[in-house]
Structure 1
Amino acid sequence: MSESDAAAPVRTTARKPPATIYDVAKLTGVSPSTVSRALNKPGRLKEATERRIRDAAEQLGYRINPMARALPTGKTGTLALLVSDITNPVYFDVVRGAERVATANGLTLVFAESQESPELELATAQRLQTSVDGLFLVASRLTDEQIAELASVKPLIVANRLVEGVTAVVPDPRPGISAALDQLHQFGHRRIAYLSGPDASWMNGVRWRTLFTYAVERGMSIVEIASAAPTREGGAESLPRVLAADVTAVFAYNDLLALGLLRAARKQEVEVPAQLSIVGFDDIFGADLPTPALSTIKSPLRELGEAAAHRLLIEIDEGDEEHSPSLPTRFVSRESVADLR
């Protein structure tokens, strides 16, 4: 065999055509409409008939075509989840929670990202809306007006964001922040900083305002320090400004910033936590792996994904309005906060 022959793709077996509803009907001896009712609207036929049709469909490898199903029902059986940054581990559990609800309801969840670009997010959301039943925006960078416009087209829910007139699921940052500040205050910290996230992030503003209010209540001074990006690189690049602020502890907008700051501090031989205590947000996978392990404010991410997907299904079915579940954060104390007493 020549080198060119080896490089050429070879198809070893012919693909068989996908089974159709007519194949299932022929195998079971019922009409195609009966097969459709059994597979799309279970409970309308005798149990034995439904089971026979489902067994035949499984035997033939028949799969329901969501586009065909959408013709009579107007629904595709598909949900879309759109996040701001696919590389951020904070979204792993959110996606898993939403996927769990979608699967339990026989639906497909598609996933997309906006790369922290409001323009790309809007274009992607508008494109997805043409082929899904509902849209789930996580940490959206769109304006309130843009989100409201999208919600007027098809069912939509937002997470980590509040928009008037749009259903939202938002974790409560107050319990976790309060507990973290209590520990810092008890350990003798009086000068702290907040390493902020993107200006377009609604949650960034909530975390800063909550930290500011609670710190002042405890007699602590607090300053806000801008970061270039909500990433490890952004955290590392922020170290000189954090040190110049002359604080004993810093809260980072998210764990990625905190981990980047921690790594840069080690390289510059700044001892953490002896010289600088660091607290993150979200408790992403890997937050407990560095030395010292990162103290952080844990968000109930999987529960958020499940609650949002469940609420989106209610919106799609035009069900009765439900109160959003309580999703409190909590402080996870590890090794990155020093006792200065």
Structure 2
Amino acid sequence: MAHPRGGPERATIRRVAEVAGVSPSTVSRTFSHPHLLRPSTVERVSSVAAELGYVPDGSAQALKTGRRGVIGLVVPDIANAFFPPLIRAAQTAAEKAGLSTIIGDGNEDGTKEAAMVGRLRGQTDGIILASPRTREPVLRSLHEVTRLVLVNRDLAGVPRVLIDSAPGMRSCVRLLAGAGHTRIAYVNGPAASWSNGERLAAIEDACREHGIALTTLRARLPDHDGGRAAAAEVLELGVTAAIAFDDVLGQGLLAGLAERGVRVPHDFSLTACDDTVSATTYPPMTTVGCPIREAGVAAVELLVESLRGSDDGDGNGDGDRVRRLPAEMVVRGTVGRCRER
């Protein structure tokens, strides 16, 4: 069919409904409340809509349903290797739920992060905060005015996804103890990071259990340059092994040690956490493998459940919901027998 001006006719909701063999209201629900329909129906209607080039009117939907069909996802550093797989997994899960995603970068600054959430409130149905640096009172205030789901921040009363890296960190200490190391260092991540506190606490407990002397280095940004700079501090301590907050810091530390002629694992042992770049370092780095993609999917599921609870008249649908995902040590090639330096 032709448009009055001579171009192709714009696909309408009625046309999509006719081709898909459903009612116009079913087409509308496919894009506004897909969880109310069978997955097969959502898939069929979405396929027909894509084929016909139908684009739902977002502003009309928002007026009718009170929903925008958009969620926010804010991370502290989009360049950190931990966050791209989380973002991709969350976007895919959101698309399956009929939602679009706006991505924000807090630049490792809790104040900027909170301000970004404030700006996104009016554009989204809810926001996922991954590894937030925002102070607890501010987070609670934000939760009162918008739907929040946290990743790697344990805040009672706010839906959250927690990657439990503590057992893996204890395994790293146990591995180092078994290799004869009695003096090790921990290279801290950001001071405002909940994960950093959890990892350090687990390492401290394991060091006490195995009689290992632990020295902690000052908090720093988790990037390659931070890890390289930490190499000089680590060597001055006289320790024989180190555990880095994450893979990116570990990668930088590995490079800094190599620049100083220190061979890993012959002269020095090293482990890290997250399993983002450790398989591609030289030598491949022993680390704690974290289910990053699963965390992104789980966060979207929690947010969708919260929205569904609101649609069903169950208040904000939140409660104290938490998903815990286990992380385990992955042994590679950066831990060797202790050689006193």
TM-score range, shorter chain: 0.7 to 0.9
Establish whether residue 298 from structure 1 lines up as the match of residue 296 from structure 2: no
Cα deviations across residues 253-305 of structure 1 (Å, max 9, x unaligned)? 11111100101111111111222211111000x31122211111111111111
Question: What is the identity, as a one-letter code, of the residue corresponding to 1:287?
Answer: S
Partner of 1:331: 329
Identify unmatched segments of 5+ residues in structure 2. Answer: 310-316
Q: In the superposition, relative to structure 1, how do residues 135 and 29 fare at CA in structure 2: closer, same or farther (>3 Å)?
A: closer
Q: TM-score, structure 2 length as denominator?
A: 0.85
Residue 325 (structure 1) shift: 3.5
Cα deviations across residues 113-166 of structure 1 (Å, max 9, x unaligned)? 111122221111111111111100001110011111111112111111112321
Say whether the 8 Å CA contact 2:158–2:319 is kept in structure 1: no
Tell me how many residue pairs correspond in the alignment: 319
Partner of 1:264: 256
Residue 82 (structure 1) shift: 0.3
Q: Distance in 1 between matches of 2:285 and 2:250?
A: 8
Partner of 2:158: 166
Q: Distance in 2 between matches of 1:317 and 1:60?
A: 29
Q: Distance in 1 between matches of 2:44 and 2:259?
A: 66
SS of aligned partner of 2:278: coil
Partner of 1:88: 80
Q: TM-score, structure 1 length as denominator?
A: 0.85
Establish whether residue 204 from structure 1 lines up as the match of residue 196 from structure 2: yes
Q: Distance in 2 between matches of 1:317 and 1:27?
A: 25
Q: Distance in 1 between matches of 2:261 and 2:291?
A: 34
Q: Distance in 2 between matches of 1:18 and 1:279?
A: 60
Pairing of 1:180-219 with structure 2 (within 5 A): 180-219=172-211
Q: In the superposition, relative to structure 1, how do residues 241 and 55 fare at CA in structure 2: closer, same or farther (>3 Å)?
A: closer
Say whether the 8 Å CA contact 2:166–2:198 is kept in structure 1: no
Q: Distance in 2 between matches of 1:144 and 1:245?
A: 35
Cα root mean square deviation, aligned: 3.0
Q: In the superposition, relative to structure 1, how do residues 200 and 56 fare at CA in structure 2: closer, same or farther (>3 Å)?
A: closer
Q: Distance in 2 between matches of 1:214 and 1:51?
A: 50
* Match for residue 225 of structure 1 among 217, 225, 241: 217
Partner of 1:314: 305
Q: Distance in 2 between matches of 1:95 and 1:27?
A: 31
Cα deviations across residues 173-211 of structure 1 (Å, max 9, x unaligned)? 222112212211111111111100111112111111111
Q: In the superposition, relative to structure 1, how do residues 111 and 26 fare at CA in structure 2: closer, same or farther (>3 Å)?
A: closer
Q: In the superposition, relative to structure 1, how do residues 195 and 58 fare at CA in structure 2: closer, same or farther (>3 Å)?
A: closer
Between the aligned residues of both structures, percent identity stands at: 31
